[in-house]
Structure 1
Amino acid sequence: MRDPMSEIGGPLDDGGIAVARDPFEMFVAWMKDAEKTEPNEANAMAVASVDPEGHPDVRMVLLKAVDTRGFVFYTNFESAKGKQILANPHVALNFHWKTVRKQVRVRGPVSVVSNDEADAYFASRAKDSQIGAWASAQSRPMEGRWVFEKEIAKYALKYGLTKVPRPPYWSGFRVSPVQIEFWRDRPFRLHDRLVYRRDTPDAPWRTERLYP
């Protein structure tokens, strides 16, 4: 298989980020590199959205799938981020891998994954996590921890001996990028930045290097 880190016209001679024809190949290569050294989840990413007043909001989630269609994560659609993204389906993502001193920034429109995809991923989760998805009124005020624990106990009893179905308000978002920027630390803050852009999620990519 072709090395996604190789330069189209030959290897770079300055040690910078090599250009790959497909930025998703480069992302997967960087993720695999980070997985070898990151002490916890290498798939952790920041997701930025905006609230109804246009104020930015950001939180950490886990990337659960990536392919040429985009980046997928799952959440409660009745949570703050779920409501914000459904109302304004455009987000920015940020991956920062401190151990390898690399960063990837992503921007693009969002769509809801298919029911089959959501069902398959939900079925792969640990049963305690499945029950938690039913028990948690995510992002809403909680009277006390005991209320949450009571809800967990209720659904644990309900689904203790049966398969846990996916809640109707729980599913996944797919971010179809129109911009992906790769950043790598270099000495004296002369960092390397390579950005891929396209006008729509099905348009061809174009690339350019940015000043650090």
Structure 2
Amino acid sequence: MAIAPDQVARVLLLPVLVAQGVWLGVRAMRLPEPPGPRAGMVGKGPALRLLILGDSSAAGVGAMSQDTALSGQLTRVLAEHVHLDWHLEGETSATTKTSLAKLNRLPDQEFDIAILIHGVNDTTRFTPRKKFHARQSALIKALCDRHGIRHFVLSGVPPLRHFSLLPHPLRWVLGKHADRLDTVLADIARTDDGVTHLQLTLPYEPRFTAIDGFHPSEAAYAVWAGMLADLVLDQAGRRS
């Protein structure tokens, strides 16, 4: 397999990329995970048990509270159609590997469907395609075995090439790798009827970005929640 231009650049421009990464670490604003409930029961109708597992965006960083973060806006939409029993396990800096390692934190119960939100931190760590595929597949299998989950929505890796906080050429290199890992998620969905991939096509405008210039804003979480709700209801067969 031919080596992609960005992979070559990653080697040739290593000192520049490292310097930009250090500069970004110093400059970047660190927002906290918002307060609010991370589990609950809401709505009326057919029962649906939902697990949300992932990184800082799953945890709602960029919002003022969980109510206006992804989980709060998603559960509010779903509650219009189902009786929802939901649980959020999101953590800043989480990767697929760290989520695998903390499955013992999940409640001892079954879920109908899981939304998995990973990829940004796998991208910034330059996790290879094969390793990312293996870890995502292992995570899906573990959740099937431990919690009886048979339906999964893999939320796509955001296109980091649009993240204005990132300087070039770091933005270009990370953007290319993000696209590569998002293709992995799409490939998994193509080979498993129980898995759906959501290509994350949020509007990349200032109002859809949090004040740190990196995470989604509350407006972006609302758009994202609507996209996920449609897939969850279709995948779980709970649309009323």
Please report the TM-score for the alignment, with normalisation by the length of structure 1: 0.28
Q: Which has the larger radius of gyration?
A: 1
Greater relative contact order, per chain length (Cα 8 Å cut-off, separation 6+): 2
Higher helix share goes to which structure? Answer: 2
Higher strand share goes to which structure? Answer: 1
Please report the TM-score for the alignment, with normalisation by the length of structure 2: 0.26
